[in-house]
């Protein structure tokens, strides 16, 4: 009997278990990449250590409450560098544009990219443009790469090599807003929502924290797969367990209500302006104080801690007092949200 050929599915792009398997079995095994996988690769060049990241954006629709594909591309690239402990410096941007796309829309996208880069103190210095026939691309796709300077005392942050039991976990605000904003903009489920995407650059916030705190042990932005995916990845990276308090995780009421109606888990939804920070217990309050003074972190919350557990379990203490195990998502709740 002829062997069945495995095909790529939408779930391979979810950011969860299937994405990780695809990356390891197809790309890492052939490219010789080193693990652990982090948001940015670390490279040494002469006497400097650099962080380098790349990403592609295929969001549908390209304009949504709180942003557009251009803002998303710049913020996403900046955030991948920032949560690695780096100081973002330069970005490249490549565009694949479908024939018939409105020039005025393209100008709005470029304007938002320029605005976000300037606000974050980053320069867009190079790029590429391709146009394909109508029907060969869905409006516009953008690929970006970014380079930042990584101070020697921050190299451990992306790899979680200093994370240990007793460390506290903090997020800078409510989860799930980006996915719900994009879903509402699609208008295919017939609901109207005032929810806006949390899309924002985090490098100013993370820079303040890293400049004032010496015991930041890990950072990761909560994009595809949401908080649950990052927690599961972190537990595996650090070789410990994680205990999370559901009542401490901020979720806006509008997001919570829509998730209950549609059967979504807000903890697994993508965000584009949220970061998980693991910090030594002694500096937890200091980090929260810094965050809450910044617009990107005014509703920051301590949500749990690292615990000793050789099985690397992620346990959620529910609002009603029980416990349940959080596992890496295998499927996809919402495709093309970034």
Query: Which CATH code of 3.90.650.10, 1.20.1440.120, 3.50.50.60, 3.30.1490.190 fits the domain covering 160-326?
Result: 3.90.650.10
DSSP H helices, 226-292, are 226-238, 253-262, 284-292
pLDDT digits (tens, 9 = 90+) for 266-316: 999 999 999 999 999 999 999 999 999 999 999 999 999 999 999 999 999
Give the residue from 228, 252, 109 showing the smallest Cα distance to 178.
252
Kindly indicate whether the domain formed by 32-153 is annotated with CATH number 3.20.20.370: no
DSSP state of 267: G
Give domain limits for the chain.
Answer: 32-153, 160-326
Whole-model pTM: value is: 0.93
Q: pLDDT tens digit string along 223-282?
A: 999 999 999 999 999 999 999 999 999 999 999 999 999 999 999 999 999 999 999 999
C-alpha distances in Å from residue 115, one per residue of 67, 101, 112, 296: 12, 22, 5, 17
Distance between CA atoms of residues 61 and 68, nearest Å: 8
Give the per-residue pLDDT at 3: 64
What distances in angstroms separate CA 100 from CA 68, 104, 186, one per listed residue? 18, 11, 20
Q: pLDDT class for 190, splitting at 50, 70, 90?
A: low
Of 325, 205, 338, which Cα lies nearest the Cα of 277?
205
Q: Which residues 6+ apart lie within 8 Å of 224 measured at CB? A: 13, 14, 15, 16, 19, 270, 337, 338
């Amino acid at each position: 009997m002829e062997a069945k050929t495995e095909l790529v599915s939408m779930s391979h792009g979810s950011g969860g278990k299937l994405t990780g398997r695809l990356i390891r079995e197809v790309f890492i095994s052939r490219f010789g990449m080193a693990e652990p996988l982090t948001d940015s690769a670390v490279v040494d060049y002469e006497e400097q250590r650099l962080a380098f990241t790349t990403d592609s954006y295929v969001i549908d629709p390209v304009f949504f409450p709180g942003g557009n594909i251009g803002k998303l591309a710049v913020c996403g690239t900046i955030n991948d560098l920032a949560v690695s402990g780096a100081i973002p410096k330069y970005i490249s941007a490549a565009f694949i544009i479908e024939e018939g796309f409105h020039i005025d829309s393209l100008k709005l996208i470029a304007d938002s990219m320029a605005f976000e880069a300037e606000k974050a103190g980053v320069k867009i210095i190079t790029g590429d443009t391709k146009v394909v026939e109508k029907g060969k691309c869905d409006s516009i796709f953008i690929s970006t790469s970014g380079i930042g300077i990584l101070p020697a005392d921050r190299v451990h942050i992306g790899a979680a090599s200093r994370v240990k039991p007793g460390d506290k976990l903090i997020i800078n605000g409510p989860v799930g807003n980006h996915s719900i904003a994009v879903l509402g903009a699609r208008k295919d489920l017939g609901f109207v929502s005032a929810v806006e995407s949390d899309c924002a650059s985090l490098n100013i916030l993370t820079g303040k924290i890293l400049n004032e705190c010496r015991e930041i042990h890990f950072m990761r932005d909560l994009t595809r797969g949401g908080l649950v995916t990052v927690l599961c990845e972190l537990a595996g990276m650090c070789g410990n367990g994680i205990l999370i308090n559901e009542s401490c995780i901020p979720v806006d009421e509008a997001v919570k209500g829509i998730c209950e109606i549609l059967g979504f888990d807000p903890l697994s939804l993508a965000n584009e302006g949220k970061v998980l920070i693991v910090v030594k217990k002694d500096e937890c309050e200091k980090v929260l104080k810094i965050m809450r003074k910044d617009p990107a972190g005014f509703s920051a919350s301590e949500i749990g801690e690292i615990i000793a557990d050789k099985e690397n379990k992620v346990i959620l203490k529910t609002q009603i007092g029980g416990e349940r195990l959080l596992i890496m998502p295998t499927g996809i709740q919402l495709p093309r949200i970034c």
